[in-house]
Amino acid sequence: MIKLVIDMEGSDFGNKETTKACLEFVKDYKDVKLILVGKTSEFKDEFVNYSDNIEFVDAQEIVPMEVSPLKLLRNTESSMVKGLNKVKQDDLDGFVTAGSSGGFITGSTLILNRMKNIQRAAFCAPFVTKIKDKQTVILDIGASNENTPEELVGFALMGSAYAKTVLNIENPSVYLLSNGSEKGKGLKNIVEAYDLLENEKAINFKGNCEAREALDGTHDVIVTPGFEGNIFLKATEGASKMMNDLIKESFKRSLFSKIGYLFARKSFKVMKDTLNYKKTGGAILLGIKKVCVKAHGNSDSYAFYHAIRVAYLMAKNNIVEKIEEMFDEHDGER
């Protein structure tokens, strides 16, 4: 039985969409127990038929979006902190939230702790690409600001393990995000990480990748320091949103364009499906002793369902053990 703690609050929609998602999930997966943390009186009744798969923990408070580590840890009545403590105390498999990213990263690291041998946890997002259903794993996208070359090697190992375990890619290709594809391009830590990765037998290292090509669907894992990963993530989101808004405006502009939309609608749905990031299930904190998944703050039940699904797959496939094994091998090599 996979046991996951779910933070029911902290999403932009309160516990409405998270409740729907959890209900769907326990209908679809029988070997799972979800421990729901939040304002339980508001959603308890929905789960009467699933008492074998559901447990409740009451928590009345919600961690604010911007929160300092100290304030977070003091907020012991919040659904996030109560949830993380529950995972730790009962030695459960993982934690899923749509709440504050900062709170999630700090809380997971401080309460659940890093795996042995891991210097830094990485915030890792599977990105949708130009190719339908092909995801590219990019890490770190903002758990750190700066990272040492050794930390970048750690990210490569963890990203590789994730791509193998959850995305079922046999020998995932690993790239470094840089400002040129040639060896020697980029910041000092990236140039040094290149040298280390070339000699890392556990990894199928392919060299540098430029931001322009990152989402063309030909890369499995892309490694970057956190600050640059965050710029990449948000630049991509911003440009995609701009294009999306302009497409909508274009179809709405005139009577003719509206008619055009009626004809092209079905075809544009394929594009929408290709770019449907909701299926990726949000971002993952890799390097922590338990599975930790962060859904988008504005997740609807579909997106949140997929966040739970990612956590379930990670736990089911023993990703924590797999990463530990990779690091053991890596250290053995030295």
Return the closest-CA partner of residue 128 out of 235, 307, 237, 277. Answer: 277
Q: Inter-axis angle of helices 149-165 and 188-198, to 10 degrees?
A: 60
The alpha helices in the chain, defined as continuous H runs, are 16-28, 69-74, 79-89, 101-107, 149-165, 188-198, 226-252, 255-274, 301-316, 319-333
- Considering only residues 225 to 244 of the shown chain, the ones binding its own copies according to CB under 8 A are 227-228, 230-244
Cβ atoms of 107 and 75 closer than 8 Å: no
C-alpha to C-alpha distance for 209 and 120, rounded to whole angstroms: 23
Binding status of residue 177 toward its own copies by CB under 8 A: yes
Q: Does 65 bind its own copies (CB under 8 A)?
A: no
The count of other CB atoms within 10 Å of the CB of residue 276 is: 15
How many residues in the shown chain lie near its own copies by CB under 8 A?
59
Task: Tell me if 271 contacts its own copies by CB under 8 A.
Answer: yes
Write down the least CB distance from residue 311 to its own copies, Å.
Answer: 25
Please, which residue, 14 or 64, has the CB nearer to its own copies?
64
Per CB under 8 A, 29 contacts its own copies = no
Task: Check residue 298 for interaction with its own copies (CB under 8 A).
Answer: no
Stretch that binds its own copies, among 104-112, 168-176, 207-215, 322-330 (CB under 8 A): 207-215
- What are the DSSP calls for 42-85, one per residue? GTGGGGGGGTTTEEEEE--B---SS--HHHHHH-TTBHHHHHHH
Strand order in the sheet with 94-97: 54-58, 32-38, 2-7, 94-97, 291-294, 283-286, 122-128, 135-139, 221-223, 173-178, 204-210
- Whose Cβ is closer to its own copies: residue 49's or residue 250's? 250
Nearer to its own copies, 41 or 235 (CB): 235
User: Interface with its own copies includes 210 (CB under 8 A)?
Assistant: yes
Q: Which of 91, 116, 263, 332 binds its own copies (CB under 8 A)?
A: 263
Regarding 212 and contact with its own copies (CB under 8 A), the answer is: yes
Does position 70 interact with its own copies (CB under 8 A)? The reply is no
The one among 13, 29, 56, 251 contacting its own copies by CB under 8 A:
251
Contacts of its own copies in 129-168 (CB under 8 A): 129-130, 142, 145-146
User: What does the block give as tokens for 140?
Assistant: 């770190």
- Residues near its own copies (CB under 8 A) are 66, 129-130, 142, 145-146, 177, 179, 182, 186-187, 210-216, 227-228, 230-247, 249-251, 253-254, 256-257, 259-268, 270-271, 274-275
